[in-house]
Amino acid sequence: MADIFTAAQRSVIMSRIKSKNTKPERIVRKILFSKGLRYRLHAKDLPGKPDIIFRPSKVAVFVHGCFWHQHKNCKDAFVPSTRQDYWLPKLKKNAQRDEKAIKCLNEMEWKVYIIWECFIKDDTKLNDLIEKIIYSVKDRRTI
């Protein structure tokens, strides 16, 4: 199936996709703040620029879109049927960059959590992960 937009229209649409302060990210931040946690955003000095960090506890949180970061076994992590020669390498490179950043953070003794966009829609998964983050932040502060 051909793209229904011209190249110029597609470029405008793609330029509006945000990489920071996305709706899922804002939802997670609001929950963490309501639980009494204070954090920093988009740490440029850390590999992968985690979306949320708790520096004293060395806990990093990434809020990933299922499509852009290719969440395994998720219906939202599809590959577009058009221009696969463009999309396959791009999405693969995103996933590889994520793996590398997580590996580097782990080597720096940071605890890393990934909250996938689809978890935002599933209260049980999101609450379980939030509880793990809270526990890690509070537990690692005492170390």
pLDDT tens digits for range 58-114: 999 999 989 888 899 888 888 888 888 888 898 999 999 999 999 999 999 999 999
Total domains present in the chain: 1
- The answer to whether residue 1 sits within a structural domain is no
- The answer to whether residue 13 sits within a structural domain is no
- The answer to whether residue 38 sits within a structural domain is yes
- The answer to whether residue 14 sits within a structural domain is no
Structural domain of 62: 24-141
Query: CATH number, domain at 118?
Result: 3.40.960.10
- The answer to whether residue 16 sits within a structural domain is no
| Least confidently predicted of 41-50, 55-64, 112-121, 132-141 | 132-141
- The answer to whether residue 39 sits within a structural domain is yes
How high is the pLDDT of residue 11?
A: 65
User: Which strand (E) or helix (H) includes residue 139?
Assistant: helix 123-141
- The answer to whether residue 125 sits within a structural domain is yes
To which residue do tokens 């170390």 refer?
143
User: SS3 for 41?
Assistant: strand
pTM greater than 0.75 (yes/no): yes
